[in-house]
Amino acid sequence: MEHITSSYNLFVDSSTGHNSQSKGDDFIVNLQDSGVHAGDGEHIRMSLTNFSMAKNFTDVNDNNNAIELEFETNEVNGEATQTVDVELDNRNYSTVTEIAKNFAHQIGNAVRASNINSLTPTSTFLTTVPESVQFDKIITFTITTSGNHGMHDYGSGTGFGMKIRFKSDKSDSFMLLGGDRLSSTDSGSSVTVEVPNQTQIKVTCLYPAQRSTTPYIYVRAPGVLNTNIETRGLRNPKDTHRSDTAHSDIVGRAVVASEEWVQFTAQTDREFFLDIHQKQFNVLRLRLTDSKNRSIGRRNGGDTASGTGLAQATLGNLNFSAVLRFDIVKTQSVHHLESQKFVPSIPARFSEGNVPIRIRNDINLK
């Protein structure tokens, strides 16, 4: 059994901070003067009560825009294979068809830049995206080249082939575009690439596409010893552990509710909470991540999730406000009544069916 002996509300605004290491989405709070500590038989419980931030990051960003192309045989310079990394444009797309058009445009640019056969960097091409994309969300498009591209279906043994890969260690493009998730060592193709003729290349994805891969923003408290657990899917892809679950530093998560705001308001006292093992709570770090424990909107570090500036998390508008509740919880130990196991005073040999003749006769006389 437990009861709360005292409670504190911590109101957080990460737009400015006293600690020079604080950022708008990786904020450090010094709690030494706040008196958040537990006594004997007590522990600290931290709950997320409210969270709000402006959605100052794009749906398509560095965490889901990466695509890898492999060209089989370059007939100009004789290379056996050629690997090219391309990226979708980072922005918000109003429809899946818009994403499909940008996908087609980026693949077409890569084909043109590969300098195969009669195609040169100045050659023109046309990409066609069927309107059916907006109904079933399966992206398919055809690239029409101005010259003979010399390409055949990959693996046909003649001419030039192409594979399109969505590597999960690089980004979540497999979720965004609707293809097979591949590891860093996989050599297959995430989507279907066909060559109807020598002036067309047809690309067809396998599954419905989506406009975003970030339905939630996760609020984490790194370094806090607690009892929460999370599944492997919520870990950074570079982190590995043997079991399906691991200790978690997630305090809570907020829904990306619109194009403008990310918000959460607790409806009960214990929707999201951490039971903290520490008796004295001195420093709290609050870090915002996506579902893969990555910084919002960026793959290779830096302080900007969206835009051309380099300091969105330090000098710009990538910040949040939140309310955290600290409860000092007293745990009452319930001692169970313990007694000696019953031991019969009459030996088992005197039990019914084994009563000596003298005792039986005495009973009959009565």
- Reported as a single tens digit per residue, the pLDDT across 234-263 is 776 555 556 677 778 899 999 998 889 999
Is 0.85 surpassed by the pTM of this model? no
Domains contained in the chain, CATH given? 2-57+214-331 (2.60.120), 66-204 (no CATH)
Shortest CA distance to 69 belongs to which of 156, 151, 6, 157? 151
pLDDT of residue 23: 94
Handedness of CA 192, 193, 197, 200 (dihedral sign): positive
Shortest CA distance to 200 belongs to which of 257, 240, 279, 143? 143
- What one-character-per-residue DSSP string does 33-66 give? TTT-B--TTEEEEEEEEEEEEE--S-SS-TTT-E
Binned at pLDDT 50, 70 and 90, residue 82 comes out as confident
Is residue 317 packed enough to be buried (19+ CB in 10 Å), middle (13-18) or exposed (0-12)? middle
> 81 — phi, psi (to 5°)?
-140, 155
> 131 — phi, psi (to 5°)?
-70, -15
> What average pLDDT score do residues 177-188 get?
92
pLDDT of residue 148: 74
Dump pLDDT digits (tens) for 104-131.
Answer: 999 988 887 776 555 554 555 666 777 6
Dump pLDDT digits (tens) for 252-302.
Answer: 999 998 889 999 999 887 788 888 888 888 889 999 999 889 999 998 788
What percent of the chain is modeled with pLDDT above 70? Answer: 80
Q: Is 287 left (phi over 0), alpha (psi -120 to 50) or beta?
A: beta
The first and second tokens of residue 296, run together, are 């919002």
Q: Is 329 left (phi over 0), alpha (psi -120 to 50) or beta?
A: beta
Shortest CA distance to 15 belongs to which of 23, 6, 3? 23
Quickly count helices (H) and strands (E) in the chain: 4, 19
3-state secondary structure of 126: strand
d(C-alpha 102, C-alpha 65), whole Å: 11
Looking at the predicted structure, is the pLDDT value of residue 85 above 80?
A: yes
Rg (CA), the chain: 32
- The number of CA neighbours under 13 Å toward the Cβ of 37 is 9
Handedness of CA 224, 228, 229, 235 (dihedral sign): negative
Beta-bridge mates of residue 331: 2
- What one-character-per-residue DSSP string does 220-260 give? E-TT--BS-EEEGGGS-TT---SSSEEE--EEEEEEE-SSS
pLDDT of residue 126: 66
Most confidently modeled of 152-161, 223-232, 350-359?
A: 223-232
> What average pLDDT score do residues 9-28 get?
91
d(C-alpha 67, C-alpha 280), whole Å: 47
> What average pLDDT score do residues 308-332 get?
92
Of 87-101, 146-160, 218-232, 314-328, the one with minimum mean pLDDT is 146-160
* List of residues 6+ apart from 155 with CB closer than 8 A: 72, 161
Beta-bridge mates of residue 11: 323
Identity of the amino acid at 155: G
pLDDT of residue 310: 93
Handedness of CA 118, 119, 124, 128 (dihedral sign): positive
